[in-house]
Amino acid sequence: MEVNDVVLAVRDITRVYKGDGHEVYALKNVSFDLYKGELIAIMGTSGSGKSTLLNVLAALDEPDKGKIQLYGQNKMEIFKEPNATFYRRENIGFIFQSFNLLKDLTVEENIALPLILKGEEKLQIDEKVDSMLKLIGLTGWRKHRPVQLSGGQQQRVAIGRALITSPPIVLADELTGNLDYNTTNEILHELVEMKRNLNQSMLVVTHDPNVATFADRVLFFHDGQIVDEYKCIGTKDIDNILSKFRLIMEKRI
């Protein structure tokens, strides 16, 4: 893997939810770097701030403090509309647990959508969609609709849609949460292969240590903070990730 430069610098992000008389610190001074071509897994207990982090990184939520800086990005205020929408469209690919495909569109139309929104030329779109269909192994399914596909195939379409614009970052929230063990491993092997070939930077939220072993690095969240970190080395990763995660779970009790 080439790790030359920082694609995303997250600095001192704090997000406080204010309720009647009480405050919840969903994120407390969170800082980390995501490198070009790197896959980071975010693991953490429920309520530790994982979804809040993804929302902030996607400019769907504005932090109370701190900043995120994207490689090659000018100094625009990304958290305010209409900048936030533009920022997302240009820079972020999403993969959701529930696939979130548009059911009335075909496989190829779903994949083409981000390019259409960006206003790319039809010829260029067709070319990119063709090669993406090959990458995800669904060329024969291009005219099908999501409902005609298996869960694994649907998630492949969602991955194709997220990667089609070669966005600086791809964000995934429990992307294999609706898939069985074998399909999960198949999808993750393919995703890591694509990530390597495209040198794609990704951030994946997961509660599954098996999923985290596919990452280059695991950040452990607890109470809105990064409390531990693990660099995957290829052997014993699952044991090391599990024992770190168990420690965090125990601290919680």
Residues at the interface with Mg ion (CB under 5 A): 50-51
Q: What SS3 state is found at 142? A: coil
Contact between 200 and 153 under an 8 Å Cβ cutoff? The reply is no
Contact between 36 and 7 under an 8 Å Cβ cutoff? The reply is yes
Near ligand ADP by CB under 6 A: residue from 30, 48, 132, 159? 48
Of 122, 120, 205, nearest to 166 (Cα)? 120
* Separation in Å, CA 224 to CA 24, 51, 187, 205: 9, 10, 29, 14
24 lines the binding site for ligand ADP (CB under 6 A): yes
Of 216, 152, 148, nearest to 181 (Cα)? 152
Which among Mg ion, ligand ADP, none contacts residue 49 (Cβ within 5 to 8 A by kind)? Answer: ligand ADP
Near ligand ADP by CB under 6 A: residue from 4, 20, 46, 75? 46
Residue with tokens 């999808």: 187
Pick the closer one to Mg ion by CB: 45 or 51: 51
Q: What is the rounded distance in angstroms from the CA atom of residue 132 to the CA atom of residue 36? A: 21
Near ligand ADP by CB under 6 A: residue from 37, 49, 146, 160? 49
47 lines the binding site for ligand ADP (CB under 6 A): yes
Instruction: Give the residues across from 98 on adjacent strands.
Output: none
Pick the closer one to ligand ADP by CB: 42 or 70: 42
Pick the closer one to ligand ADP by CB: 44 or 209: 44
Structure-token pair, residue 74: 């000018």
CB of 22 vs ligand ADP, minimal distance in Å: 10
Pick the closer one to ligand ADP by CB: 47 or 151: 47
CB of 213 vs ligand ADP, minimal distance in Å: 20
Point out which span in 29-37, 50-58, 90-98, 121-129 binds ligand ADP (CB under 6 A).
50-58
Structure-token pair, residue 116: 């259409």
Which among Mg ion, ligand ADP, none contacts residue 66 (Cβ within 5 to 8 A by kind)? Answer: none
